[in-house]
Amino acid sequence: MKQYWMSCTALLLGTLLLSASLFAHHGTNVSYQGDKMITLNGVMTEWSFSYPHPQLYFDVKGENGETEHWAAELLPTPIMMKSYGVGWSKESIKPGDQITLVCNPSKVPGARVCLAKKLTINGKDMPLTNPKGGGGGEGKQ
């Protein structure tokens, strides 16, 4: 009987340890300056429409005229973006598209990474939060 309870306890503890990661979530305040916004104008080089956060890769002309390679993380997951009914897909953005991005820069000095807050593609605003309101999750602006 003692062995039965030890097995049950070990199974319970193992299950709890393995499932703990299911409840974990990272916060954007750890990586990005939430109190600072920058605006970047550039040309898309790559669009990764993937889970859990879509990624934008783009080139910006630096102050010295040289090309700077940037990356931006979008808040909503692709599942949320699909539910907005605004046409987000793997084909939403293509290399060569002109973008204007308002974002929170990285906390790492010199890092060319940011958290997207407002995105305009070829002159068209694309919502990064649910335009219908309601449960927008962490994508609220």
Q: Tell me the domain boundaries of the chain.
A: 28-131
pTM: 0.70
- Residue 22 CA: distances (Å) to CA of 19, 52, 60, 78, 79: 5, 14, 37, 19, 18
* CA nearest neighbour of 72 among 38, 26, 123: 38
At 45 the pLDDT is 97
The fold of 28-131 is OB fold (Dihydrolipoamide Acetyltransferase, E2P) (2.40.50)
**Sign of the four-CA dihedral 77, 78, 80, 85:** positive
Find out whether 90 and 96 touch, Cβ atoms under 8 Å: no
Total Cβ atoms within 10 A of residue 1: 5
Most confident of 62-66, 101-105, 131-135: 101-105
- In the chain, which ranges are E strands? 38-48, 55-61, 67-73, 98-105, 113-121, 124-126
Most confident of 20-24, 62-66, 84-88: 62-66
* CA nearest neighbour of 28 among 75, 97, 70: 75
For the cut 90, the answer to whether the pLDDT of residue 26 exceeds it is no
Find out whether 67 and 91 touch, Cβ atoms under 8 Å: no
116 compared with 23, residue with greater pLDDT: 116
Q: 138: Cβ–Cβ under 8 A, 6 or more apart, which residues?
A: 28, 75, 76
At 60 the pLDDT is 97
32 compared with 83, residue with greater pLDDT: 32
Average the pLDDT over 25-51 and give the result. Answer: 86
Question: Average pLDDT, whole number, for the chain?
Answer: 79
Number of residues written out for the chain: 141
